[in-house]
Amino acid sequence: MWRAELPEGWRRIWIVALREIRERGGSRAYRISTVLAVLLVVAVILIPSLIRESTTYHVGFTGAVPAGTVAELEIQAGAVGHQLQTSRYAALGQGERALRDKKIDVLLVDGSRLEWRTGSDSTLTAVIANALQAVHIRQQADRLGISVGQLAQLLVPVTLTSRTIGAAHTADKDANTVGFIAVGLLYVAISFYAGFVLTGVVQEKANRVAEVLLARMPAREVLAGKVLGIGAVGLGQFALIAMAAAVTVQLMNHADAPSIPANVLGWTLLWFILGYLFYSVLYAALGATTSRIEDAQSAIAPITGLMLLSYLGVIYAEQNPDAALTVVLSYFPPTAPIVMTYRVAVHAAPSWQVITTALVTAVAIWALMRIAGRIYSGALLRFGGRIPLRDLLRSSS
Amino acid sequence: MVAVLELRDVSKRYGDVPALSGCTFQVQPGRLTGFVGPNGAGKTTAMRVILGLITQDAGAVSWRGHPVSAADRRRFGYMPEERGLYPKMRVVDQLVFLGRLSGLPAAAAARQADRWLDALGLGERKASRLDDLSHGNQQRVQLAAALVHAPELLVLDEPFSGLDPLAMDSMSALLTDIARAGAAVLFSSHQLDVVEHLCEDVVVINAGHAVLSGDLGKIRDATADRYLEVTVTGDPDRLLCLTGATVVGHDGDHVRLRVPRTVDPVGLLDRLRGDVVRFSYEPPSLSELFRAAVAGEAAKVSEVSGVAC
C-alpha cells in the first residue's frame, strides 16, 4: 500500500488531515451548508433568467404590414430568448387605446413608425428593426431576382476576431463582472475556511486535545494536517458549488450569462489554494495564542484588515490597472491572491507576472509556516490570557 | 531494579517564574509511582517535560539510559488532567485516531480500541459521542486513549480526580494491572491515602524539586520517627508525659505520639501494662511524610529569609 511507504511525519499529517475531512465533511452542518450554498448559487443563476424568460412582448399593428413581418418578428424575439404576441388593430385610435390600456407594449404603425406608452425599450426596438430589415431585404432580393441561395451567400456574416495588445485595458464589462464575482467568492471562501482552522485550533487548545496530540507528534505536523484537511474539505465544497454553477449555466445555455474563460477558473482555484494556505496558517498561529474564541477574533483583527486591504486593492486596480501600486499589491503576499485573481479575470496581468507573483506567494507561505509553526507550538501549552507574540518568538528561537 | 525513566537536575522557568528547579527522580518499570506535591509545585510541568511537550531549560531526561528521543516518547502514554479528547467525536474513532498517530496500523488501532473499550466496560458506548458520556466514563475513555498503543510508560495527571469510590476502585485495579504487565506508571494525585495504598514508589515534589523519592516502604522505614497510637482505660494523662515522646494528637483516651526510632516499643508497652486497649507502632504515613517534607521546605525558606533579614 502506498500509505505504508509514507515517511512517518507525512503519515501522521495524513491521519490528522483525514480526521478533519471525516469529521467536518461528514458533519450535518457541512452537508446542510453545502446543499444550501449549491441551491443559492443555482437560484442566483436561474431566477433572473426565469423572470426574463417569462417576459412576453405584446406588439400591436395598425395600417399596412409587410408580408412575413409577424413570422420574422417571432424569429428575432426567439433569438434573444423572448416570446411574442401580436394583435392587429383596424384603426390607429384602437391601437393607441390598447397601448394606453397596457394591452400592448408597442404599436407598429404602417410598418415604419413605433409608438410607445412612456418610453422605448431598446431590445424590443432592435427586435422589430431587425425583423423589418430582414423582410425588406427579402422583398428587394425578390424584386431583383436574387434566389434564396444567392441571398444566403450575400448575407454570410463576416468573421470578426478581437485581440488585446499590451497589458492593461479593462474595457471588457463582462470580464470585469467575472473578476468581481471571482474576487467576492475568493474573499468569502478564504475567510470561511481559514475561520474553520482558527476555531479548530482554539477548540483543540481549550479542550486540551492539543496536549494529547503534541505528546504524539510535532506541532508543525498537527498544523500541516489541520490546514490541509480543512483545505481539502473547503476545496471540495468550493468545487461542488462551482460545478453546480457551471452545469446550471450549461443547461440554460443562456446568451446573456458572461462566459468564464478556463484560464480564469484555473487561476482562481490556484489563488484560492494559495490565499487559503497563507491566511489559515496565520489564523492558526494567532488562534493558538488565545484560549477562547472571543479572544481569537480580536487576535486576528489585523489579519482581517489585510483581507479588507486586498478588496480595496481590487477597487483601486479597477480604476488604475497600470499603476505601480496595483503591481505592488499583486506582489505583496497578503493581497496577492485577491488582487491577482481580479487582474487575471480582466486580462490585466501578463502571464509571467501571474506566475512570478504565485511563486512569491508560495515562498511567503513556506516562510510563514516556519514562523507560524513556532508560534503555534510555543503557544499551545500556555493558557490564560493572550500571549504576546514577542515572547513566543523569543522563547522558541 | 533499573529505572527506565530518569530526570536529572531538570529546570524550567516561565518568564520570571521558576516551575522546576533542579528536579531529580526516577521511575521504575512494573511499578506504580505516585507523584505528589502541593498545587504549583511543578507536577504538570515535570510531566510535560517527560512527554516532550515543553523543553527544559537545563538538566536531562533519559529513557533506558540514553537521552529520551521522539521515537521513545511515542512509546509513552499520556492522560492530561482534564478532557484531552474531541467532545463531538465518536469514542471509538478518537481511540483509532490516537492509536494511529502513535504508529499503529489502522487495523491494529481498531482492534486495540475495541479491546480497551471492552476492558473498561464501555463496549456498549463505542459509537457514542464523547460528550454524551458521564464524567467517569469520559475519564475511562481518556485512559483508553493513553493505553491504546500499549505504552511502556504511562503518565497520568490526576487520574482519580472527580471519580466516585467505585470508579476509583476500578481505576486503581486497572493501573495495578498495567504496572504488573510491565509498564512504568507515573501518576499525580492529591489523594495521599490512595497513593499510599496503591503505589510502591513515590515522588514528593515541592517548589520545583523532588524532596523525597523512591520506594515508599523504604522511605518510611528510614525516617527517624515512629508513630505510636495508644488507647487506654483510665487516665490518659500519663501518656502525655512519656519520656522522649511528642504528642501529635489527643482525643479523649486515644493518644497519638511521635517517638524516635531508637525508642523500644516493647519497653513502652511494658510501662503502660494493664491499661492498654489498642496499641499501634508504625513509621510515618505518606501524608505525614508529605507534610514534614513540604513544611521542612517552608521552614528552610523562612530560615533563609530570616538570615536575609
Across the interface, of A19, A22, A381, the residue whose CB is closest to B53 is: A381
CA distance B53 to A223: 15
Chain A residues inside the 8 Å CB shell of B102:
216
Closest B-chain CA to A214: B53
Residues from chain B that touch A217, judged by Cβ atoms under 8 A, are: 101
Look at residue B306 in the predicted model and tell me its pLDDT.
Answer: 32
The CATH code of the domain that includes B214 is 3.40.50.300
DSSP of chain B, one letter per residue? ---SEEEEEEEEEETTEEEEEEEEEEE-TTSEEEEE--TTSSHHHHHHHHHTSS--SEEEEEETTEE--HHHHTTEEEE-SS--S-TTSBHHHHHHHHHHHTT--HHHHHHHHHHHHHHTT-GGGTTSBGGGS-HHHHHHHHHHHHHTT--SEEEESSTTTT--HHHHHHHHHHHHHHHHTT-EEEEE-S-HHHHHHH-SEEEEEETTEEEEEEEHHHHHHHSSEEEEEEEESS-THHHHT-TT-EEEEEETTEEEEEEETTS-HHHHHHHTTTTEEEEEEEPPPHHHHHHHHHHHHHHHHHHHHHHH-
The mean pLDDT of chain A is 83
Q: At what angle do helices A336-345 and A173-206 cross, to 10 degrees?
A: 160
- Measured between alpha carbons, how far is A337 from A306 in angstroms, rounded to an integer? 11
Backbone angles phi, psi at A81, to 5 degrees: 80, 30
Cβ atoms of residues A373 and A393 within 8 Å: no
User: Is B275 within 8 Å of B230 (Cβ atoms)?
Assistant: no
- CB spacing of A8 vs B103 below 8 angstroms: yes
Interface residues of chain B, partner chain A, Cβ below 8 Å:
14-15, 48, 51-54, 70, 73-74, 76, 78, 80-89, 93, 97-98, 100-103, 105, 145
Using the 3D structure, point to which of B220, B239, B258 is the last residue of a domain. B220
For residue B138, the chain A residues in CB contact (below 8 A) are: none
Asked if A381 and B84 come within 8 Å (Cβ–Cβ), the reply is: no
The answer on B128 and B179 residing in a single domain is yes
Q: What is the pLDDT of residues A142-190, one digit of tens each?
A: 888 888 788 878 777 677 776 655 544 444 677 787 788 888 888 888 9
Task: Tell me which residue of A271, A201, A240 sits closest to A20, measured CA to CA.
Answer: A201
| CA–CA separation, B29 and B267 (whole Å) | 41
Instruction: Answer whether A394 touches B (CB < 8 Å).
Output: no
Q: Is residue B308 part of a domain?
A: no
**Residue B40 and residue B91 in one domain:** yes
Q: What is the pLDDT of residues B84-96, one digit of tens each?
A: 899 989 999 999 9
- Burial class of residue A136 (count of CB atoms within 10 Å of its CB; 0-12, 13-18, 19+): middle
Unique residue bearing C-alpha cell 424584386: A143
Q: Establish if B299 belongs to a structural domain.
A: no
Three-class SS of residue A117? coil
Residues B106 and B63 grouped into a single domain: yes
Q: Is residue B298 part of a domain?
A: no
pLDDT of residue A168: 47
Contacts of A381 in chain B (CB under 8 A): 48, 53-54
- Name every chain B residue with its beta carbon within 8 A of the beta carbon of A19: 97
Q: What is the 3-state secondary structure (H, E, C) of A326-351?
A: HHHHHHCCCCHHHHHHHHHHCCCCCH
Task: Identify whether residues B230 and B99 lie together within a single domain.
Answer: no
Q: What is the CATH number of the domain that holds B276?
A: 3.30.70
Enter the C-alpha cell of residue A305. Answer: 484588515
DSSP state letter for A93: H
Q: What's the pLDDT score for residue B188?
A: 95
Closest residue of B to A222, CA-based? B101
The C-alpha of A317 sits at a distance from chain B's nearest C-alpha, in angstroms, of: 45
**Chain B contact for A142, CB < 8 A?**
no
Burial (Cβ within 10 Å: 0-12, 13-18, ≥19) of residue B203: buried
Quick: pLDDT tens for A345-392: 887 788 899 999 999 999 999 998 888 888 887 887 765 556 676 666
Question: Cell triple for residue B153?
Answer: 510508560
Q: What is the pLDDT of residue A260?
A: 67
Tell me, yes or no, whether B288 lies in a domain.
no
* B176 and B38 both lie in a single domain: yes
Q: Does A120 touch chain B (CB under 8 A)?
A: no
Least CB–CB distance from B101: residue in A207, A208, A216: A216
What strand order describes the sheet that includes B5-14? B17-27, B5-14, B58-63, B66-67
Q: Are residues B158 and B191 in the same domain?
A: yes
To the nearest 10°, report the CA torsion of A10, A16, A21, A26: 150
Give the cell for residue A230.
Answer: 480543512
pLDDT < 50 positions in chain A: 1-4, 167-171, 396-397
**B235 and B214 together in one domain:** no
Same-domain pairing of B187 and B260: no
* Domain-located, residue B291: no
User: A–B: how many Cβ contacts below 8 A?
Assistant: 56
**CB spacing of A15 vs B87 below 8 angstroms:** no
Distance (Å) from the alpha carbon of A187 to chain B's nearest alpha carbon:
29
Together in a domain, B117 and B131: yes
For helices A262-288 and A173-206, the axis angle rounded to 10 degrees is: 30
- Using an 8 Å CB-CB cutoff, list chain A residues near B104: none
Question: What's the structural domain count of chain B?
Answer: 2
**Torsions phi, psi of A255, nearest 5?**
-70, -30
Rounded to an integer, what distance in angstroms lies between the CA atom of residue A250 and that of residue A254? 8
Domain that holds residue B262: 224-282
B153 & B270 share domain:
no
Tell me whether residues A207 and B73 touch, CB distance under 8 A.
no
Does residue B110 belong to any structural domain of this protein? yes
B271 and B152 part of one domain: no
- Left (φ > 0), alpha (ψ -120 to 50) or beta: where does B160 sit? alpha
Nearest CA in chain B to A210: B84
Residue entry with cell 505528546: A215
- Domain assignment of residue B191, yes or no: yes
Query: Within this chain, do residues B31 and B174 fall inside the same structural domain, yes or no?
Result: yes
Question: Does residue A87 sit in helix, strand or coil?
Answer: strand
Residues of A in contact with B86 (CB under 8 A): 23, 207, 209
Q: Which of residues 322-381 of A touch B (CB under 8 A)?
A: 381
Residue ranges of chain B whose pLDDT lies below 70: 1, 235-243, 273-274, 296-309
Residue B300 located in a structural domain: no
Which residues lie across from A106 on neighbouring strands?
A: A59, A116
- Indicate the helix (H) or strand (E) that contains A65: none
Task: Name the DSSP letter for residue A386.
Answer: P
Radius of gyration from C-alpha coordinates of chain A: 30
Helix runs in chain A, H state only? 8-25, 28-53, 69-79, 92-100, 122-144, 148-154, 173-206, 209-214, 219-252, 262-288, 293-299, 301-319, 324-331, 336-345, 351-380, 389-396
| B182 dihedral zone (left: phi>0; alpha: psi -120 to 50; beta) | left
Does the beta-carbon distance from A212 to B86 stay under 8 Å?
A: no
Query: At B24, which amino acid appears?
Result: T
The Cα B111–Cα B126 span in angstroms is: 12
Q: What is the pTM of this model?
A: 0.75
3 state DSSP class of A211: helix
Q: If 0-12 CB within 10 Å is exposed, 13-18 middle and 19+ buried, where does residue A28 land? A: exposed
Segments making up each domain of chain A, as ranges: 11-48+172-396, 55-150
- Nearest CB among A22, A207, A215 relative to B87 is that of A207
For domain A55-150, the CATH superfamily is: Periplasmic binding protein-like II (3.40.190.10)
Distance CA A170, CA A165 (A): 12
> What pLDDT is attached to residue A206?
85
Q: Which residues of A touch B84 (CB under 8 A)?
A: 207-209, 211-212
